[in-house]
Amino acid sequence: MARQVCSHLSAEFADALSEARDLLKEIFRTRQDVVIAPGSSSLGIEMAIANSIEPGDEVLVVASGYYADRIALMVRRHRGVPVKVEAPLRRCIPVERVAEACDAHPEARALCVVHVETSTGVVNPVRELGRLARRRGLLYIVDAVSSVGGMDVRVDEWGMDYCITGPQKALAAPPGLALLSVSERALEVASSRREEPFTFYMDVRGWVRATREPLKRYVTHAVLLVLALREALRLVLEEGLERRFRRHEALADAMRAGLRALGMELFPEEAYAAPTLTAVEVPEGLSSRALVRAVLEEGVRVSAGWGELADRILRVGHMGNVGPEHILRTLGALEKAMAKLGREVSGGVEAAAARLSEFEEDLLRPPDEVPELGAA
Ligand SMILES: Cc1ncc(COP(=O)(O)O)c(C=O)c1O
């Protein structure tokens, strides 16, 4: 990004956007359209909703935590009626519960789910829910912000009409873009509304055209962010998706072992714990907010929880181009921070290192070199 900005109307930019689009399709595993739009991931989620529903439409939302609640809020803002399907906090939503909600709301138009609920570290069964959505004729909208690039996501195979992510999580690019897949069915729905969408900027048809044909401008694009995204996506595919997923699993495994050694229990049941971030309960009597502040003093940023979990859990992100040194450094910082708060603990780094030693060193290394610039 440290370069002269080229024009958003130039062939150079059009080539970059075309390449980023095609790489993103590979990562999303889709042959349908994808959109790259300036804004954050939330723009992508709201775009999906704005184009899919009309006033009064019911929308089923798997209520898995903070990010799911935000989807319900977006549905309301677009004059829809969110129907929350409550999920257990520590495990994924049972698919039967969503099926029952479909029975109770046969007119519902869409089903929304957060793949990795970043507020709890729980993974939802997006593949199975995709089958259900198909059977019930629901548009299927998946917030995959904390999963794409760090774990398997198959847009076409799993029947997603919209799959939304952002560059700044497991894809390891700078923030500021919404990245989403758009199915043919989603486009048909957007094109056959009773009323035009109430927003110009979020009209998905405009964005699909602009991403298919980058020389036809829709709005002035975020040129440097697209150049950076292209590099990041090249790195993702250079590492290889399967390999990248295995690296995320190995690092998550080590992080869990380290945190347990420090006396912290996983917040989700292990079978439902995400490979991209780990949420743990802080020991009795310790404030997670205080711990976050103390860890920051050691130069590492981790997060507390949201809502009722705000001061009870600690969340550690380990997605993107993360390697063993980040895991060990974070655990070391946590040990020091806990000592500062009067809890002498040890063994976290050692436990994680022992786990890491079970994996091939090469597998654990993130892609850290920019590949040669190939032809677009
Ligand atoms: C699951 C999930 N959804 C949505 C968002 C919102 O993304 P953004 O801040 O890029 O709009 C986040 C951000 O952390 C997230 O983790």
pLDDT by residue, tens only, the chain of 376 residues = 888 999 999 999 999 999 999 999 999 999 999 999 999 999 999 999 999 999 999 999 999 999 999 999 999 999 999 999 999 999 999 999 999 999 999 999 999 999 999 999 999 999 999 999 999 999 999 999 999 999 999 999 999 999 999 999 999 999 999 999 999 999 999 999 999 999 999 999 999 999 999 998 899 999 999 999 999 999 999 999 999 999 999 999 999 999 999 999 999 999 999 999 999 999 999 999 999 999 999 999 999 999 889 999 999 999 999 999 999 999 999 999 999 999 999 999 999 999 999 999 999 999 975 444 444 3
Domain ranges in the chain?
A: 11-238, 240-364
Q: How far is the CA of 342 from the centre of ligand 1 (A)?
A: 34
* Interstrand relation of 265-266 and 110-114 (parallel, antiparallel or unpaired): unpaired
Which atom of ligand 1 is nearest to 114's Cα? 1
Cβ atoms of 277 and 36 within 8 Å: the answer is no
- Report the nearest-CA residue for atom 2 of ligand 1: 145
Taking the centre of ligand 1 as the mean of its atom positions, its distance from the CA of residue 88, in whole angstroms, is: 20
Is any atom of ligand 1 closer than 6 Å to the C-beta of 124? no
Which amino acid would we find at residue 89? L
Hey, whose CA ends up nearest to atom 16 of ligand 1? 118
Report the alpha-carbon distance of residue 301 to residue 79 in Å, rounded. Answer: 38
Q: Which CATH superfamily is domain 240-364 in?
A: Aspartate Aminotransferase, domain 1 (3.90.1150.10)
Is the CB of residue 179 less than 8 Å from the CB of residue 44? Answer: yes
SS (HEC) of 125-193 = CHHHHHHHHHHCCCEEEEECCCCECCECCCCCCCCCCEEEECCCCCCCCCCCEEEEEECHHHHHHHHCC
Q: How far apart are CA 358 and CA 339, in angstroms?
A: 29
Does residue 41's CB lie within 6 angstroms of at least one atom of ligand 1? Answer: yes
Per-residue pLDDT at 125 = 98
Predicted TM-score (pTM) of the model is: 0.96
pLDDT, position 369: 52
Examine domains 11-238 and 240-364 and report if their fold is the same.
no
The finding on whether 179 has its CB within 6 A of some atom of ligand 1 is: no
Cα 166 to ligand 1 centre (Å): 8
- Cα of 145 vs centre of ligand 1, distance in Å, is 6
| Ligand 1 contact via 147 beta carbon (within 6 Å) | no
Pairing of strands 110-114, 58-63: parallel
- Protein fold of 11-238: Aspartate Aminotransferase; domain 2 (3.40.640)
pLDDT computed for residue 171 by the predictor: 98
Ligand 1 site, residue 348, Cβ cutoff 6 A: no
Question: What pLDDT shows up at residue 217?
Answer: 82
Give CA–CA dist 29/236, Å, rounded.
13
Secondary-structure breakdown of the chain: helix, strand, coil percentages, each rounded to the nearest 5? 45, 15, 40
Give 285-313 as a DSSP string: T--HHHHHHHHHHTT---B---GGGTTTE
Q: Report the separation in Å between the CA atom of 283 and the middle of ligand 1, taken as the mean of its atom positions.
A: 27
Q: How many CB atoms lie within 10 A of CB 51?
A: 24
Q: Which atom of ligand 1 is nearest to the CA of 166?
A: 10
Our mutation pick for probing the ligand 1 site, out of 146, 148, 164, counting the most ligand atoms within 8 A of Cβ, is 146
**Any atom of ligand 1 within 6 Å of the Cβ of 64:** no
pLDDT score recorded for residue 295: 98
| Residue with CA at minimum distance from ligand 1 atom 8 | 41
- Top mutation candidate among 36, 41, 319 for ligand 1, by most atoms within 8 Å of CB: 41
